[in-house]
Structure 1
Amino acid sequence: MTTGATVHTAEATKAAEASVALPPRAERAARAEAAADRLRTAAVDALAVTWVDNAGITRVKAVPLGGLRHAAEWGVGTAPCFDVFLADDAITTSPLIGGPTGDLRLYPDLDRAVPLAAQPGWAWAPGERYTQDGTPHPGCQRLFARRTTAAAAALGLSLKAGIEVEWVVALDGPPTEEPRYPTHGPAYGMHRLTDLSDYLRDVLRALGEQGLAVLQIHPEYAPGQFEVSVAPEGPVGAADTSVLVRHTIRAVSARHGLRVSFAPVVETDGVGNGGHVHLSLWREGRNLGHGGPGPHGLTPEAEGFLAGVLDELPALLVLGCSSPAGYLRLVPQHWAGAYRCWGLENREAALRLVTGSTGERASAANAEVKCFDASANPYLAVGGVIAAGLAGLADGRRLPPEFTGDPAAAEPGTVPRLPTGPGEALAAYEASAVLREALGEPLYRAVAAVRRAEAERYEAAGPEELVAATRWRY
């Protein structure tokens, strides 16, 4: 790393720390009063404040609208043990976080508060966790994503991100029941859209009423599977939106007598739900993924960033492929990105370069991380990718040769596979100095503890048992 990069890293670290300082109490109170007036006009009675734990499960505390100012001024009590919850609600521990002692304060981000179109009387806001004395909780995943975004901003860089949301919709039934589908149309077929046109229309309406710009919605490959994509935004906002989109889909489904699964695998022999992350790197309004001398127009900064991501992908799976079931999805020839390679529009590569159509590339060029799934905590996913990318940029890394075609058809050993199970991914994670430094020791070790506990919990389980145990948890 050059001396200049070291200076920039120090500046970025200072900027990241400043970015997560809790605003003064008087400012929080004023924001709460304004938010309460706005939400009251929309006939809101209560606000659901959510955070996503290290198992990828969205947890919630709710407050009546009359208590919003107190929640904004003083926070809502939450136990730190949630950082070591597993997806099935079992609890493990880590050296720095865990056990029954201690308390935190959950503060709603009222700038993001929105009435929920499919739940009359309710609104939603993402939350951030601080200690009782107002210092940032080192295990807060949303604050981690904010820190990495601020570190990029300190270098004059901004990012746009989007997270694809895939889900399987099924007829309602007991939690132990395998899915029964409300449509049996072919993959990507108009048949499915026709069968569920009222339902999908209501999903679109609800997302639109909540201020989200939907780019497309369509049937996917697996039975009962659909996908929705929304407009890109800043990384933290994209993670927030991912939580809100999934919650909205679940709420609309419930009103239609349906249930949904965002789990990585819903049927053992099927194609699972991805949580692909799209990112583009910008400086002074210019997309650095276009117009440069590198491969397919990449600038040196964008190439260095993507090279850093590619190098860290085995370790990043611990953040982006949270459930042991995710490795049942991460298989060759399923467009899941099972190989650690990159390529232009290559849907079998873990890192897919997307240039966009001729004429729109200056705005559309981006990269897609395909090996992540919908069990991931989206704040950990985007924050981890940014940290890896900034490390690659600082080191001036370059991408290896591009791979075209199907990596599974290449000569054995030509293209490296990503980890095929949580044990391999954990080994890469524990060897990653980049992620350890970016996450900070408490969050880094809590994530490892959850992954290890879930891997041990399902070590003896066959694919059917593992899928059944996780199908309706996400």
Structure 2
Amino acid sequence: MASTITNTVRAAGPEVRRGEIVARAETAGLRLVRFLYCDNDGIIRGKATGIAGLKDRLETGIGLTVAMQAFTMLDHLAPVEGMGPVGEIRLVPDPDTFVIAPYAPHTGVLLVDMETLDGKPYAADGRAFLRRTIERAAEKDLEIVAAFEPEWSLARQVDGAFVPLDDGGCFTTTGMDAAQDVIDEIVAALEAQGLTVEQYYAELGWGQQELSIRHAPALQAADRHLLYRETVRGVALKHGLYASFAPKPWADQAGNGCHLHFSGWNRERTVNRFYDQNAPYYLSELGKQFMAGILEHLPGLVALTCASVNSYRRLQPQMWASAYRVWGPDNREGALRLASTFRGHEAESINIELKSSDSSANPYVALGGVIAAGLDGIERRLPLPPPVTVDPHTMDEKARQAIGGDRLPQSLKEAVGKLKRDRVLTEALGDRLATSYIAVKELDIDAFAGADEAFEFRQHIYKY
């Protein structure tokens, strides 16, 4: 993670901000503005307002049935009490998230908070959950700065099947060349929305890409991941291509992760509290405790970060995707990788990478869960197990057990079972969000258990 941390919060009041948005929308000739959210199954959904109603809807929001937070990726309605045909919430936009969508004609985008009709946060809203964990961390003079680092696959549709764009190979210039036109437009579209591109390369899988954007405070990092996903898919479509963020789009190709990088700063974001110049690997005691909390809760946490049935085809040993509950310095087979620092900028650049994470997750729920687990480690002063500096799959089973390096859940069903028994995570989520989230996942599990592999791959490859 780079060394510069900027505060993007605007000082202007809500009324001024709404006026600015309307003026920008009119000047840009927008006809629609999308109000977008991420549901409990990691699907980006929303509604759009016409430009004539934008000013009012910036304040009042757009109505949404309460049933939507019980919808699955297959558009099945999970049986959750109070999430049926009766009742409504409001999608109320956050003015600081407004962008003009370069991939959609005459269209703007706003990300929303879900609110009850009396203006209170909706208890099943993942964005509200992340806000709560941010506030809890702030009480400890801790602000999490994060970056989602997604991999994704470019494909064409041939005779109804998705076919990888190329077979260029890992880090090859032939892979870059095959995708250069669409990548160039994606970079321009991201930069136009204030999303600074850090790195790009062709990844291991056929048609697989990795393009990272700059880190941000936790809420903005999750917001940016939604805008990123929308931009990549939208631009790809303009080129006649399909961008898949599915964890495992094809059985015989590398999976798509969404590695989550994070560091812990003071509230002014002037001091990286995970840094200690005198400690091994420069990792402070606070950083160790935060990591220990994540490892402690990881069996249930992966139900939030590896959130689809398809995720567990990727979460396998010796796939560089992390199958064991261990950590290590630059160990890409560990669930937590302590990233190497930049020489001369150690204090600013020390950060941790959660590899057990993919883009089928709701980023607000995933990051909120990570923070809740880390805070539990701090509050209980949990010790961090010894680092692993080899592939954990090659270790003797007794050696892994001695450091708590057990195998992570091998299915969404197993992970959800662990989540249901993790009181720290379920209490942090709150009853309404935990109940609806688990109900959605359990309905997915049942739906895919009764279908073949072809159905699973077909349903995941372009839902994410």
Shift of 1:468: 2.2
The residue identity in structure 2 corresponding to 1:49 is F
Shift of 1:187: 2.1
2:288 match: 303
User: Aligned match of 1:200 in 183, 203, 215?
Assistant: 183
1:373 equivalenced with 2:358 (yes/no): yes
1:350 equivalenced with 2:335 (yes/no): yes
The residue identity in structure 2 corresponding to 1:85 is F
**SS of 2:397's equivalent?**
coil
Alpha-carbon contact 1:214-1:228 (below 8 Å) kept:
yes
Shift of 1:316: 0.8
Shift of 1:46: 1.7
Structure 1 unmatched runs, 5+: 1-25
2:31 match: 45
User: Aligned match of 2:254 in 271, 277, 281?
Assistant: 271
Q: Distance in 2 between matches of 1:470 and 1:166?
A: 15
Q: Distance in 1 between matches of 2:157 and 2:258?
A: 24
Where do residues 26-425 of structure 1 align in structure 2 (5 Å cutoff)?
28-95=14-81, 97-173=82-158, 177-283=160-266, 284=268, 285-291=270-276, 293-413=278-398, 414=400, 415-425=405-415
Q: Distance in 2 between matches of 1:418 and 1:461?
A: 24
Shift of 1:27: 5.8
Shift of 1:215: 0.2
**SS of 2:258's equivalent?**
coil
Shift of 1:88: 1.1
Q: Distance in 2 between matches of 1:115 and 1:439?
A: 32
Shift of 1:337: 1.1
Alpha-carbon contact 1:54-1:377 (below 8 Å) kept:
yes
Q: Distance in 2 between matches of 1:196 and 1:32?
A: 38
1:435 equivalenced with 2:425 (yes/no): yes
**SS of 1:269's equivalent?**
coil
2:444 match: 454
- Runs of 4+ aligned residues of structure 1 deviating over 6 Å after TM superposition are none
The residue identity in structure 2 corresponding to 1:78 is L
TM-score by length of 2: 0.93
**SS of 1:401's equivalent?**
coil
The residue identity in structure 1 corresponding to 2:263 is S
Shift of 1:268: 1.2
Q: Give a deviation string over 1:372-403, Cα, whole Å, max 9, x none.
A: 11100000011110111111111111211111
**SS of 1:111's equivalent?**
helix
Shift of 1:154: 2.0
Q: Distance in 1 between matches of 2:415 and 2:241?
A: 35
Q: Distance in 1 between matches of 2:195 and 2:447?
A: 38
Shift of 1:122: 0.7
TM-score by length of 1: 0.91
Structure 2 unmatched runs, 5+: 1-11
**SS of 2:210's equivalent?**
strand
Q: Distance in 1 between matches of 2:378 and 2:252?
A: 39
Alpha-carbon contact 1:29-1:69 (below 8 Å) kept:
no
Report the aligned-residue RMSD.
1.6
Shift of 1:211: 1.1
Alpha-carbon contact 1:166-1:228 (below 8 Å) kept:
yes
Q: Distance in 2 between matches of 1:62 and 1:464?
A: 34
Alpha-carbon contact 2:165-2:206 (below 8 Å) kept:
no
Alpha-carbon contact 1:341-1:403 (below 8 Å) kept:
yes
Shift of 1:178: 2.9
Alpha-carbon contact 2:372-2:428 (below 8 Å) kept:
yes
The residue identity in structure 2 corresponding to 1:226 is Q
Q: Distance in 1 between matches of 2:144 and 2:338?
A: 16
Question: Taking every aligned residue pair, what percent have the same amino acid on both sides?
Answer: 36
Q: Give a deviation string over 1:127-178, Cα, whole Å, max 9, x none.
A: 111011111100011111111112111221111100012111111456xx33
Q: Distance in 2 between matches of 1:269 and 1:159?
A: 36
**SS of 2:87's equivalent?**
coil
